[in-house]
Amino acid sequence: MELRHLRYFAAVADTCHFGQAAESLHVAQPALSYAIRQLEAELDVTLFTRTTRQVSLTPAGQYLRAQAERILAGVDEAVDGVRRIAAGRSGLVRVGITGIAAFSHLPRIARVVKRELPDVDLRIQSDMLTPGQCDALRAGTLDLGILRPPAIGEHIDTTVIDVEPMVLAVSVDHRLAAEPVVSVADLRHEPFVLYDSRDSAVNDAAIRTCRAAGFVPHRAHQAPGTAVLLALVAAGLGVALLPASVRSLPLDGLVVRDLVDADTVEVALAWRSGSDDPVVTAVADVIAAAFADSAFADSAAAESRDTQLADHRSVRTRLGARSGEKP
């Protein structure tokens, strides 16, 4: 049985009129009549009762009509699904995301993908460090990564979607908790809580920030993840320098303060080099565009923050001059 014959049969069954069915199908009536006779011969049944005045379905025809509707609807759905996948509008995309970004960046990613690509299913794997994401991308168990660059190893492409300043996290009863803005130099004698990974981009940014201020941070404690790190800081066991997106986390027992002259850390979208999956490409484009669109608003907020930090630096310089200290 040809699918074409089934569609012809459905059209005649809907109208019970060969002429109207032929017109809707854009075929000649003799060709339609011949196709129906072929179908009846193949099935060895009579599907229509034909008289000079009317055409009606036989019991066998009524049964086939119900089945034909189900079959043709399934075929149409399959064709539409295949075309949507080929166009990057439908499918499954597996996304890995680094610790803090799961709270700060994932909500925006999920919202924009749902809005722009409602038939795409995102499968999220959270709290993945950059090396693990790069390995998973190369192995094909992840399609996209939201990570802290640089990428580890070969065959990974990235594009930066966000740049965050480092901020200070301290316990609520810490001596610096009441300060709206803190100088990195004031942390010279503080114990630090850092991640235990050797490949942590956040650790690298924290150490760069401290070295730029003239000291190496004292690593008092190490944490396997963000939750443990914040718990240690809240307990008063040390301070931490973290990306500004840490503010999006629940912070019981903690306060976050801006820093003067802090380094920055990037967030990047990553994928396997040479990947040509249209669904993955569509999701990557939507995510990149969402963060590009928010860049102007973010830059305005950054200008305001930089002004505040500059004012604080100026005050500290003036105070130092009055007391005889060198700025």
- Cβ distance 193 to 240 under 8 Å? yes
Res. 23: pLDDT tops 70:
yes
- What does the mean pLDDT of the chain come to? 86
Band (pLDDT 50/70/90 cuts) for residue 89 is low
| Architecture in CATH of 90-161+266-304 | 3-Layer(aba) Sandwich (3.40)
- pLDDT, position 53: 83
Q: Where in the chain is the domain with CATH 1.10.10.10?
A: 3-86
Res. 319: pLDDT tops 50:
no
Alpha carbons 276 and 102: distance in angstroms, whole number: 26
pTM for the predicted model, two decimal places = 0.65
Q: Where do the H-state alpha helices sit in the chain?
A: 3-15, 18-25, 29-43, 59-86, 101-104, 106-116, 130-139, 201-212, 226-234, 278-293, 295-323
Res. 249: pLDDT tops 90:
no
Instruction: Indicate the fold that domain 163-265+308-316 takes in CATH.
Output: D-Maltodextrin-Binding Protein; domain 2 (3.40.190)
DSSP one-letter code for 186: G
Q: Where do the H-state alpha helices sit in 87-198?
A: 101-104, 106-116, 130-139
Q: What percent of the chain has pLDDT over 70?
A: 87
Mean pLDDT value of segment 279-306: 71
Which residues 6+ apart lie within 8 Å of 113 measured at CB? 120, 122, 283, 286, 287
Paired with 160 in beta bridges are 268
Please determine, looking at this structure, whether the domain spanning 3-86 carries the CATH number 1.10.10.10. yes
Res. 17: pLDDT tops 60:
yes
More confident residue, 79 or 139: 139
Mean pLDDT value of segment 161-180: 95
Mean pLDDT value of segment 240-269: 92
H helix or E strand, kind and range, residue 48: strand 48-50
Q: Where in the chain is the domain with CATH 3.40.190.10?
A: 90-161+266-304, 163-265+308-316
Band (pLDDT 50/70/90 cuts) for residue 318 is very low
pLDDT in tens, 99-113: 888 888 999 999 999
- pLDDT, position 200: 87
CA end-to-end distance (rounded Å), the chain: 89
Alpha carbons 6 and 3: distance in angstroms, whole number: 5
Phi, psi of 197 (to 5 degrees): -80, 135
Q: What percent of the chain has pLDDT over 90?
A: 63
Phi, psi of 162 (to 5 degrees): -160, 150
Mean pLDDT value of segment 242-264: 91
More confident residue, 100 or 89: 100
Distances (CA, A) of 63 to 7, 20, 21: 15, 22, 19
The two structure tokens encoding residue 41: 């011969």
